[in-house]
């Protein structure tokens, strides 16, 4: 361990590992600090990801693939099921091993990694972030860096210490619970999404296969719902109704920040990536791939900034992220607000109309069209998704 690194990354999730790796590939020194004792554990995630989302960053390895996804199933409030086939769309991961593999790829690029290292503050001099303070096995340490990359997940405290406004509106925080259960007899290549105000108000309830009839089963609820009823009580109702005797292998809580990206994700000496920057796709709640993308952009820019001895270059990160995904997320967020406010009757109607489309002709595109026929005002927002490049 040195006293000074070019870059320090706080948090070893997918966003942190990719930020660290892409920076190290530029030939600069990188230290990644993680508070938990294991990278990748505990897993607070439904673990679904698109094939393209993985392939951009790491060659597919069966070791961390729990299920291969080729179909989506939507279950309307009245129980009607609509299926859409996709070919080889994506995976349900074994994230414990996946996150580990990502961190290992960072290590191979030269990143130093320390677990059980809890970052509790920043070193700030002349209003510029100069390093971090962390606790390791009961002792406090300080380490300097030219750039700190905050990849500290949903809590996003590191950015606050640098003066950025990172806390999220309680209405946009999807407070989630999930169980991984055995003996769930669903199709092992289909992601199931349930809709309806009794099942998952203002969002969806997921049942994702994990191979051998195991499944990740869970939901998130906004703080508005949370005022009245917790995610846990919805999950208990669902399990009682559908799988009362299923053995529960794990159960976890977690938070998904479903909003647009923060106004500012860089400042002198600091950059924010992944959940900490609020880079989750607000429509789907997926944040693994978008976090890796955010991380890779930040890592590349930080590496270049250091190599060219031009630290203000890191401030170009906000725009680079906006152009790649940030602007798109703004539109997804508006669509989210439209769709998740549909009444149960409207969901039932959409499913009913869509069931008339022959299965081989179904796609997410015409599902959207069907949804839009029921809510034409959303058309403008959807049109914009295709205009933003």
Ligand X SMILES: Cc1cc2nc3c(=O)[nH]c(=O)nc-3n(C[C@H](O)[C@H](O)[C@H](O)COP(=O)(O)OP(=O)(O)OC[C@H]3O[C@@H](n4cnc5c(N)ncnc54)[C@H](O)[C@@H]3O)c2cc1C
The residues of the shown chain that bind ligand X, judged by CB under 6 A, are: 10-16, 33-36, 44-49, 118-119, 151-155, 176, 178, 218, 254-256, 274-276, 280, 285-289, 291
CB 118 within 8 A of CB 35: yes
List 252's β-bridge partners, or say none: 178
φ and ψ at residue 346, rounded to 5 degrees: -65, -45
Residue 74 vs 354, nearer CB to ligand X: 74
Q: How far apart are CA 301 and CA 310, in angstroms?
A: 11
Residue 45 contact, options ligand X, another protein, none, Cβ 5-8 Å cut-off depending on partner type: ligand X
Burial category of 1 from C-beta neighbours within 10 Å (exposed 0-12, middle 13-18, buried 19 and up): exposed
Q: In the numeric block, which tokens belong to residue 279?
A: 């880079």
8 Å CB contact between 184 and 45: no
Residue 73 binds to another protein (criterion: CB under 8 A): no
36 is a contact residue toward another protein (CB under 8 A): yes
In three-state secondary structure terms, 298 is helix
Stretch that binds another protein, among 35-43, 94-102, 288-296, 343-351 (CB under 8 A): 35-43
Size of the site for another protein (CB under 8 A): 35
| Nearest C-alpha neighbor of 5 from the set 134, 100, 103, 152 | 134
What's the alpha-carbon Rg for the chain, to the nearest Å? 21
Q: Which is nearer to ligand X, 107 or 357 (CB)?
A: 107
Please say which residue, 279 or 296, places its beta carbon nearer to another protein: 279
Among another protein, ligand X, none, the one that 37 touches (CB under a kind-dependent 5 to 8 A) is another protein
**Chosen residue from 88, 108, 142, 169 binding another protein by CB under 8 A:** 169
Residue 231 contacts another protein per CB under 8 A: yes
With CB under 5 to 8 Å by kind, the binding choice for 223 among ligand X, another protein, none is another protein
Nearer to ligand X, 6 or 47 (CB): 47
Q: Between 11 and 326, whose beta carbon lies closer to another protein?
A: 11
Does the footprint of another protein cover residue 128 (CB under 8 A)?
no
Selection from another protein, ligand X, none that 12 binds (CB < 5 to 8 A by kind) is: ligand X
Helices (H) and strands (E) in the chain, counts: 12, 16
**Smallest distance, Å, CB 142 to ligand X?**
14
Q: How far is the CB of 136 from ligand X (least distance, A)?
A: 10
Q: How would DSSP label each residue in 298-364?
A: HHHHHHHHHHTT-GGGGGGHHHHHIIIIIHHHHHHHHHHHHHTT--HHHHHHHHHHHHTS-GGG--H
Distance CA 97, CA 60 (A): 12
Contacts to another protein by CB under 8 A: 35-37, 44, 116, 118, 153-157, 160, 167-170, 173, 175-177, 220-221, 223-224, 226-227, 230-233, 252-255, 257
């Amino acid at each position: 361990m040195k006293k000074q690194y070019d870059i320090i990354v706080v948090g070893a999730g997918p966003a942190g590992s990719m930020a660290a790796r892409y920076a190290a590939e530029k030939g600069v020194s990188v230290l990644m600090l993680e508070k938990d004792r294991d990278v990748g554990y505990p897993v607070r995630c439904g673990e679904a990801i698109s094939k393209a989302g993985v392939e951009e960053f790491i060659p597919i390895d069966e070791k961390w693939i729990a299920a291969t996804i080729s179909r989506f199933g939507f279950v309307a409030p009245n129980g009607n099921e609509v299926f859409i086939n996709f070919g080889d769309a994506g995976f349900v991961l074994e994230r414990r091993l996946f996150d580990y593999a990502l961190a290992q790829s960072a290590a191979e690029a030269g990143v130093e990694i320390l677990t059980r290292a809890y970052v509790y503050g920043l070193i700030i001099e002349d209003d510029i972030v100069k390093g971090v303070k962390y606790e390791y096995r009961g002792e406090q340490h300080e380490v300097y860096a030219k750039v700190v990359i905050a990849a500290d997940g949903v809590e996003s405290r590191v950015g606050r210490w640098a003066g950025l406004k990172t806390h999220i509106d309680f209405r946009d925080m999807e407070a989630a619970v999930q169980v991984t259960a055995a003996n769930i007899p669903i199709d092992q290549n289909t992601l199931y999404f349930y809709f309806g105000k009794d099942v998952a108000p203002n969002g969806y309830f997921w049942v994702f296969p994990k191979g051998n009839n195991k499944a990740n089963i869970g939901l998130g609820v906004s703080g508005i719902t949370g005022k009245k009823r917790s995610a846990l009580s919805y999950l208990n109702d669902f399990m009682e109704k559908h799988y009362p005797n299923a053995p529960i292998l794990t159960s976890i809580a977690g938070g998904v920040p479903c909003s647009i990206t923060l106004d500012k994700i860089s400042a002198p000496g600091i950059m924010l990536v992944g959940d900490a920057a609020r880079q989750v796709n607000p429509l789907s709640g997926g944040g693994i791939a978008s976090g890796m993308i955010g991380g890779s952009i930040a890592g590349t820019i930080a590496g270049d900034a250091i190599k060219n001895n031009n630290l203000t270059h890191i401030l170009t990160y906000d725009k680079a992220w906006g152009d790649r995904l940030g602007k798109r997320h703004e539109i997804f967020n508006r669509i989210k607000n439209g769709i998740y406010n549909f009444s149960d009757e409207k969901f039932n109607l959409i499913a009913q109309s869509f069931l008339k489309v022959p299965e081989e002709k179904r796609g997410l595109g015409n599902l959207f069209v069907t949804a839009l026929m029921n809510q034409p005002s959303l058309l403008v927002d959807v049109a914009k998704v295709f205009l933003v490049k």
